[in-house]
Amino acid sequence: MSDTTAQHPAHTDDPEYAANLRRATLASSVGSALEYFDFALYGLFSALIFGQLFFSNLPPEFAVVASLASFGVGFLARPLGGLFFGTLGDRLGRKWVLVVTIGLMGGATTLIGALPTYDQIGIWAPILLTVLRLAQGFGAGAEQAGATVLMAEYAPVKRRGFFSALPFIGIQLGTLLAGLVFSLMSLLPDEVFFGWAWRIPFLASFLLILVALFIRLRLRETPTFVELEKHDQISQRPIREIFTKGLPGVTVGVGLRMAENGGSYMFQTLALAFVAGNFLASPVDRGIAAWGVTIGALIAIFVLPLTGHLSDRFGRRIVYRTGAVLMLVYAFPAWWLLSLGDPVTVVAVIALGVGIAVNTMLGPQCAMLPELFGNRHRYLGVAMAREISAVLAGGLAGVLGAYLLAVSDGDWLLPAIYMATLALITTASTFLVPETRARDLLRLDDAVRVSRDESRSDAEIEAELQRA
């Protein structure tokens, strides 16, 4: 059977399709909000709080390193979760995997709020924290990949970039909520904050889990997966396919994510630890510094759909490359300005880094990653690209960056070089991937395996858009 056989998904003028598109957007957005509320909250607490709660037996600067290491450990579990759940997503469908992952991830986050501290049970406190962080990472390993695939497969072809970016506003809402909660809680007296109040946002995430589960249980399977079932094309060995046919797509996908994912966590965790810890002569108040993340998430709510729309108009690669180059240019002045320790400057630098530099890449990425892979192993391919890069970029960003700062006595130049290196890798990767805009998601072959003579011209892409 041909790679392009079967029918394209319905269009938005079909009332049933339009209703399912709205459900898919809501289901993806709520899950993204929960995941990034959990991760942003954990990132903020690991950078500024958990060192004192769970690693109080260490010197302050190395307590931060250990705390950020516990944050990074979650990334080690993400590829395993992506491999496990991604395989199920390609064999059983997108919907039920998303139901299971949201429960696992949210349950682990809730239990973190019930953990005793180091002063209460000693070494068992950081051990239990690490175990729950691993469980959180295992569930998150397929959560965002599933939301990405779900939305791309539901979205209309001509506006796939825009619609695929909409659920990722949930990421910004989750980050915004986490930053807002942390900033407000920082106003509490230290004895209250460190005594019991820090537990509240983790325990309260249980309410978000219930809402997400209710929405996802009402969701229908994606049109492209239904076509696989109809034509008996479901892969029984998606792992074998991804490591034989899909490896080029995974490799390029990892490269594309290095600056976006690594830069995001450097601004959201490492930068906060740098300005609010013992690295500066006059540290910035942790509550004020966290406002940078909050404002950055607010900016990203507008940047994401805009850059998704621009990728529909001008192509995924050019918009993505613009974001990568922007981060490359921004890295050195940003970290130098952070080293000055001026509170207003700190908030502005973090907000612009998170809101514009990172999300100019994330906008086109939402559609681009699913477009890189064929229909039989798309879920697994996106999961592997996202989660391997999450280990290499996001997972290392905090702990390696904190270590570099600790051994260099807070030299801002080292994290700047680190961020610029990530941006160079992503910039180079944008030259290795073909233009994927308007690619038929019913195709079974991967985009990166298309030879040069098969690459589509701009005229051919426009012709495909007219037919869609």
pLDDT in tens, 63-109: 877 887 887 787 788 888 888 888 887 887 777 788 888 888 888 88
pLDDT of residue 455: 57
Q: Residue 3 pLDDT > 50, yes or no?
A: no
Residue 15 to residue 38: CA distance in whole angstroms: 35
- Residue 349 pLDDT exceeds 90: yes
Higher-pLDDT residue of 257, 96: 257
Long-range contacts from 311-316, C-beta under 8 angstroms, 24+ separation: 311/161, 311/363, 311/364, 311/367, 311/368, 311/437, 312/158, 312/159, 312/160, 312/161, 312/162, 312/437, 315/435, 315/437, 315/458, 315/461, 316/161, 316/364, 316/367, 316/368, 316/371, 316/435, 316/436, 316/437
Most confident option among 27-36, 80-89, 100-109, 259-268? 259-268
pLDDT score of 333 more than 90: yes
At residue 450, does pLDDT exceed 60? no
Model confidence pLDDT, tens digit, residues 373-382: 988 888 889 9
Q: What is the largest CA-CA distance in the chain?
A: 67
CB atoms within 10 A of CB 25: 21
Q: How far apart are CA 189 and CA 446, in angstroms?
A: 55
Prediction pTM value: 0.79
pLDDT value at residue 461: 60
pLDDT, one tens digit per residue, over 100-151 is: 888 888 888 889 888 898 888 988 988 898 888 888 888 877 777 888 888 8
What domains appear along the chain, each with residue ranges and CATH number? 21-467 (1.20.1250.20)
Q: What is the mean pLDDT of residues 152-157?
A: 86
